[in-house]
Amino acid sequence: RHYRIAVIPGDGIGREVVPEGVRLLEAAAERFGFTLDLRHHDFASCDYYLQHGRMLPEDWRDILKPMDAIFFGAVGWPDKVPDHISLWGSLLQFRREFDQYVNLRPVRLMPGVPSPLAGRRPGDIDFLVVRENTEGEYSAVGGTMFPGTEREIVIQETVMSRHGTDRILRFAFDLARSRPKKHLTSATKSNGIAITMPWWDSRVEAVGADYPDVRRDKYHIDILTAHFVLNPDRFDVVVGSNLFGDILSDLGPACTGTIGIAPSANINPEGRFPSLFEPVHGSAPDIAGQGIANPIGQIWTAAMMLEHLGETDAAAAILAAIEAALQTEEGRTRDLKGQATTRQAGEAVLARFLG
């Protein structure tokens, strides 16, 4: 087993946490007997933009397409380059051009992490949010009529295709089927959004007919957000359109403590293009350069990438090391009320991994 991985740290704390993730990847390769060809790139960063006038080199598709996966840090430095340029010029290009139509985020309460939700213990909260990542509410169809006048009208259409909807639902049902609870929850709003959302519900029914072993239910997005906070133990796999999934995939990790430990994946399940793995957090300019960022989101991201590549034992071993490290003083950075530096927290996970 040999994997070619593009490593793109990006900006800010991305450059501090990616090396900690790489350390675990290399240790996992050695322990589990696979090899890694890591290709480090400085593009998709604001410094690259200031030097070259663009976020990516002309031939970025040729560079990245042959990779088995992309290991990404974070992009954005608003004082140097406006966010719409840095994000649209890099991450959003990858997602669209590489048809990464699944955005997957685990939501799990970990030991050692104080939950903002009273009375919840590790094990109580353990679910996955599956977000449609390419169409839906985030469309370019629309426009403004009579701009700047009293008659101003602004329109933006939701675009849902059967192809695009069914493939995200199938991914979510397959995922639910692979888990012990076999339970899928769909986010809807068919009472208010009376064309696209009843249709979305009908596709959940149609695709769900092929998964009689998966229990399914649905909630309107408004009450669903309340349940995330009040009854997070109720969920297993939660699937939503681009907008609803976006909201839920930030709310979920927030319910489990710090965004500093949360990972995410942008997946092209067919493997026609490389998938991209990144922590949920951004470049954190407020703490960048101090060596105090929590590296665990990036390390958990490494585990997610290995799982995607089929290295499930290595992924499980990294996750176990994270859980063990979080219960020690050396494993906790300031966002977790600890004193550890980025390096020390990364070292704590590595030590548990080597064990």
Residues near ligand NAI (CB under 6 A): 13, 74-78, 83, 87, 91, 259-260, 278, 281-287, 293-294, 297, 335
**Helix (H) or strand (E) run with residue 70 in it:** strand 69-74
* Helix axis angle, 312-326 to 342-354, nearest 10°: 120
- Give 91 or 117: the residue with its C-beta nearer to ligand NAI: 91
User: Residue 109 binds which entry of Mg ion, ligand NAI, none, with Cβ cut-offs from 5 to 8 Å by kind?
Assistant: none
User: Residue 91 binds which entry of Mg ion, ligand NAI, none, with Cβ cut-offs from 5 to 8 Å by kind?
Assistant: ligand NAI
Size, binding site for Mg ion by CB under 5 A: 2
- Give 200 or 300: the residue with its C-beta nearer to ligand NAI: 300
- Give 6 or 293: the residue with its C-beta nearer to ligand NAI: 293
**Burial class of residue 119 in the structure, from the number of CB atoms within 10 Å of its CB (0-12 exposed, 13-18 middle, 19+ buried):** exposed
- Give 174 or 250: the residue with its C-beta nearer to Mg ion: 250
Best CA proximity match to 7, nearest among 27, 28, 23: 23
Active-site positions read 138, 189, 222, 246, 250
Report, in Å, the least distance between residue 217 CB and ligand NAI. Answer: 30
Report, in Å, the least distance between residue 345 CB and ligand NAI. Answer: 9
Q: How far apart are CA 259 and CA 245, in angstroms?
A: 17
Q: How far apart are CA 317 and CA 41, in angstroms?
A: 28
Tell me if 101 sits within 8 A of 38, measured CB to CB: no
Tell me if 122 sits within 8 A of 111, measured CB to CB: yes
User: Residue 58 binds which entry of ligand NAI, Mg ion, none, with Cβ cut-offs from 5 to 8 Å by kind?
Assistant: none
Contacts (Cβ under 8 Å, ≥6 apart) of 286: none
Best CA proximity match to 346, nearest among 305, 306, 297, 296: 296
User: Residue 44 binds which entry of ligand NAI, Mg ion, none, with Cβ cut-offs from 5 to 8 Å by kind?
Assistant: none
Q: How far apart are CA 94 and CA 181, in angstroms?
A: 33
Site string for Mg ion, 215-254 (x = CB under 5 A): -------------------------------x---x----
- Give 20 or 311: the residue with its C-beta nearer to ligand NAI: 20
Report, in Å, the least distance between residue 278 CB and ligand NAI. Answer: 5
The three-class DSSP label of residue 28 is helix
Contacts (Cβ under 8 Å, ≥6 apart) of 158: 136, 137, 139, 193, 196, 241
Report, in Å, the least distance between residue 218 CB and ligand NAI. Answer: 28
The three-class DSSP label of residue 188 is strand
Report, in Å, the least distance between residue 336 CB and ligand NAI. Answer: 9
Report, in Å, the least distance between residue 14 CB and ligand NAI. Answer: 7
- Give 240 or 338: the residue with its C-beta nearer to ligand NAI: 338
162-186 residues labelled b (16+ CB within 10 A) or e (exposed): eebbebbbebbbebbeeeeebbbbb
| DSSP assignment of 87-148 | HHTTHHHHHHHTT--EEEEEEEPPTTS--SSTT--TTT-EEEEEEE-SSBTS-S-EEEESTT
Binding residues (CB under 5 A) for Mg ion: these are: 246, 250
